[in-house]
Structure 1
Amino acid sequence: MVSEKDSGYRKNFSLIVTFIGLISVIFILSLFLAYKFSKKNIENDFVSAKANVLEESIKPYNDFFLNKLPEISFYNGYLDSATASKFVDTILMEYPFVTKVTFYDTEVKNDNFFDDGINLGNFSVGMKSVYRFKKTGKKNAGKLVGEGQVKNNTTLENFNSVSFKLINFVQKLDTNKVPSQEELFSNFTNIQPNRIDYFNIPSFEVLKSYKKMVTTKLDDEPTYQQDMLSFQLDPNLIKINNTRPLLYQQVKVVPITYDPLDTSSDYVTGEITLGGPFSDYKLFFISSKTFVKKEIFSYFLPIAALLLLFYSVLVLVAFLIYRNLNINHKMFKLQYDFVTNLTHEFKTPVSVIKIAGNNIKSSAGLSEKEQQMYG
């Protein structure tokens, strides 16, 4: 009976050992899969997180393009060199990628032609004056470079390219329908590599007057003021906002044709085009594989810690089960030994009593001499 019990407990112990071995194998396999998952996730992040870095890095440009440029229209064409200088100062201080600004003080006339402008029918667009501002190096304030002498082939070409867009828009204008803000913005903005030209957007009533001026000479021969600003941009001055410094070791602005000389397999690279006036440039991302592995481990270690915690709980449960079985085994042995010893201790006197009883029972068949002998 004891051997059967011992055999049962040995079987239970074997089951516990087997259970621990099984969860250990599962734990090691889970660690391996967790590392593979972490590595794959970081590799995917290296590709997908580039868009977030780009978005954060060009936020100042988006603010400049969507919010600051439309402020030019608030002046309704009545900017002068002094007012333009103050306006340009705010741009140069807030947006470091803007390096130069050219201000075209412009008029739109009916029938009065400009020598250095655009003339279509009775509609004429021309420059009165041209001012150029650039950074002085002190607090990025604007400095007036010159007036008049900055009228050259380049400034004339820039001015005419925007004026052509204005005339084409006026020709196609439906005076019965107010154009959308998107339509106005696209037609009064000219985006070129590293440059943005912007005409202030007149009211719809003024646009309808422009439409009439193309084909008709109005009695009052109206003259309208327009302002055009041309912004020279330097993509190399864009401040890179690396939102994943533990993933991207280096992020820089490079020409779209840039091809790194170091094509070693020890590095991971990626790129994403800037777009807009910076379409000839891209963000280039590079990290050493050792650097990326640090990010993989930073992602993997919390998962490994959770797996280790779960594994430890299972091992603890197995230990507690084994300890309880061991205690029960010892209790059983104590109980069995107690019963055995107790039985043995009672067995001897009971046997004596039984023999004596049998003797008494059989005394009737004994002779007197035998009774005296056996008592």
Structure 2
Amino acid sequence: MSLEKKNGYRKNFSLSVTFIVLISILFILSLFLAFNYSKKSIENEFVSEKVNVLEESIKSYSEFFQNKMPEVSYYNGFLDSATASKFVDTVMVKFPFVDKVMFYDSEVKNVPVRDGVNVGQLSIGPKSIFQFGKNVNPDSVKLFSEQERRSFRVDDDFNSMALKLVRFIDQLDTASVPTQEELFTNFSVVLSNKITYLNIPRREDLKVYKQMLQSKLNPAPVYQQDMLVFHLNPKKIKIINTRPLLYQIIRVEPLTYDPIDTSDENINTEIALPGAFSDFKLYFTSSKSYIKKEIFIYFMPIALVLLLVYGVLLLVAFLIYRNLNVNSKMFKLQYDFVNNLTHEFKTPVSVIKIAGNNIKSAAVLSLKEQQLYSKILDEEADKLNGLMNKLLAFTQIENKAIILNQEEVNIEDFIESTIESHTLKHPDFVMTYEVVGFKTFITDPVLLGSLFDNLAENAYKYSNPGNKRLNISAKLIKGVLVFRFADKGIGIPSSELNNIFKKFFRIQNEYNQMGSVGLGLAFCKELVNFMQGEITVKSKVGLGTEFKIVLPFNN
């Protein structure tokens, strides 16, 4: 049976180890897959997140193009150089990518102009031309005027915008209202790094422009138009890196830019800029070591979750193994208990049976034989009765099924009675005692007697021949009773001291090979607890053991 139990224990241990190995392999594999997933995710984000960077970085350009630039139309063509200069200053402060602005203070006439565009009876020409910018010399602000003609020729920016206006007027259906989108599209020209914008005339003015295009009006009208050419520098776009842990370097480069360094140590991606910056792109560069930091930031929460799951599985494995181990030990204890209890019952039953057979088979029994058999039957019956009473009392105490009797006990008489019964039973047992501080107290004499008897029996049983000694001390100390049972026995190993009060537990030694069920000290523990006391032990192997019992003093 012990071999089967041993193999069962090994089987449980092997299953636990196999389970731990499997979940460890699964954990390592999960970490590997999680890391690869994190790496792929960050690499995909490196490609996709550039759109967010672009959107954030060109917000100022979009605001300039959609909101700030159309403010020119609010002046209805009556901008002068001073007002234009202030307007340009506000633009350059808020939008640093605007390098320079050309301002054309223009007129639409019904008579030909020398500098400008003449189509049919419609003429468009500048009265004056100014340029504004941080790097513009004050002497170069004014470039042209009708009064002071210089060697300045009206450039293609003006002519192309004037021709676009003429085409729009020529195709204009005066019966319908053009949409804002149509007006904005026809009154602006977007080129590389440059936007030309002409203030949008009122609808009534556009109708007059169409008449002027087709015929000469009398008197000949003159209308004011303002045109501004914004020169942009894409290098001055403020790049907003929405993922600083992902993108190490972001810069504006021409679309044709191709890096000379094509090292595998870096990861690159790019995205084209819109509108007037369409000849340029945002160029993103990060080293692989830099990207690894972001990968680990992404990976760590996943790894912690996996580690938590792994820890829970390990805990489950430990609890299962401990439960199996405890069950195995409990099975062994119960097996030993049943085995020893059977032996305890079997021995007196066998003796009683032998004695009965001898009486039955004997024709005549002498008085001496009758007395011998009577004594044998009486002693063995007492053993059986005592064992049954101990088991019954143990069960009753555990289940709180008995009532604690309160009787006055003379401690000296009680101890002397205990000593007498044990020395009669064991003539080589030397027992002494001392009482200090009290003579009587209230307690349950039956339970106290069982406690004393068990401790005395243990002291005798676990002492070497010739050294079977026990000293019982009873003292009243600070309002409580302290009993000490000190023997000179074989002692208890320190590793076993925490287990000796457990049910069915037996220390493996030569004295426990037969005849012990592991209930004696557990029974003492339950007795003391039931009597609202406390029991402790201290022992040294080879020198002896002392049990200390503390009980409440009732007098």
Contact 1:192 1:277 (8 Å CA) reproduced: yes
2:72 counterpart letter in structure 1: I
Q: Deviations over 1:46-101 (max 9, x none)?
A: 11111111111111111100100110011111100111111111001111111111
Contact 1:253 1:282 (8 Å CA) reproduced: yes
Q: Deviations over 1:207-238 (max 9, x none)?
A: 22222221122334222111100111111111
TM (norm. structure 1) is 0.92
Q: For residue 17 of structure 2, what is the aligned residue in structure 1?
A: 17
SS at match of 1:101: strand
**Percentage identity across aligned positions?**
62
The 1-side partners of 2:361 and 2:115 are apart by: 156
Q: For residue 172 of structure 1, what is the aligned residue in structure 2?
A: 171
Q: For residue 250 of structure 1, what is the aligned residue in structure 2?
A: 249
Q: For residue 330 of structure 2, what is the aligned residue in structure 1?
A: 331
Higher mean displacement: 213-222 or 227-236: 213-222
Contact 2:143 2:152 (8 Å CA) reproduced: no
SS at match of 2:231: strand
Q: Deviations over 1:23-61 (max 9, x none)?
A: 111111111111111111111111111111111111111
Q: Deviations over 1:267-326 (max 9, x none)?
A: 111111113111221111111111111211111112111111111111111111111221
Deviation, structure 1 residue 2:
4.5
Q: For residue 29 of structure 1, what is the aligned residue in structure 2?
A: 29
- CA distance 1:151–1:253, change in 2 (3 Å): farther
What is the number of residues matched between the two proteins? 366
Deviation, structure 1 residue 7:
3.4
Q: For residue 163 of structure 1, what is the aligned residue in structure 2?
A: 162
Q: Which has the higher helix share?
A: 1
Contact 2:112 2:123 (8 Å CA) reproduced: yes
The 1-side partners of 2:267 and 2:320 are apart by: 50
Q: For residue 514 of structure 2, what is the aligned residue in structure 1?
A: none
SS at match of 2:270: strand
Q: Higher relative contact order at CA 8 Å, sep ≥6: structure 1 or structure 2?
A: 1
Unaligned regions of 5+ residues in structure 2, if any? 371-555
Q: Deviations over 1:240-277 (max 9, x none)?
A: 11111111111111122111111111111111111311
The 2-side partners of 1:144 and 1:314 are apart by: 80
SS at match of 2:223: strand
- Equivalent positions of 1:117-196 (< 5 A) are 117-135=116-134, 145-148=141-144, 152-153=152-153, 155-196=154-195
SS at match of 1:177: coil
Confirm or deny that 1:104 pairs with 2:124. no
The 2-side partners of 1:220 and 1:17 are apart by: 107
CA RMSD after TM alignment: 2.1
- The structure with the largest alpha-carbon Rg is 2
- CA distance 1:274–1:249, change in 2 (3 Å): same
- CA distance 1:305–1:46, change in 2 (3 Å): same
Unaligned regions of 5+ residues in structure 1, if any? none
The 1-side partners of 2:329 and 2:129 are apart by: 104
Q: For residue 228 of structure 1, what is the aligned residue in structure 2?
A: 227
2:133 counterpart letter in structure 1: K
Confirm or deny that 1:318 pairs with 2:317. yes
Deviation, structure 1 residue 6:
4.0
SS at match of 2:155: helix
Deviation, structure 1 residue 372:
7.0
SS at match of 2:240: coil
- CA distance 1:261–1:18, change in 2 (3 Å): same
Q: For residue 277 of structure 1, what is the aligned residue in structure 2?
A: 276
Q: For residue 426 of structure 2, what is the aligned residue in structure 1?
A: none
Deviation, structure 1 residue 362:
2.6
- CA distance 1:157–1:75, change in 2 (3 Å): same
Confirm or deny that 1:204 pairs with 2:230. no
Q: For residue 90 of structure 2, what is the aligned residue in structure 1?
A: 90
Q: For residue 544 of structure 2, what is the aligned residue in structure 1?
A: none
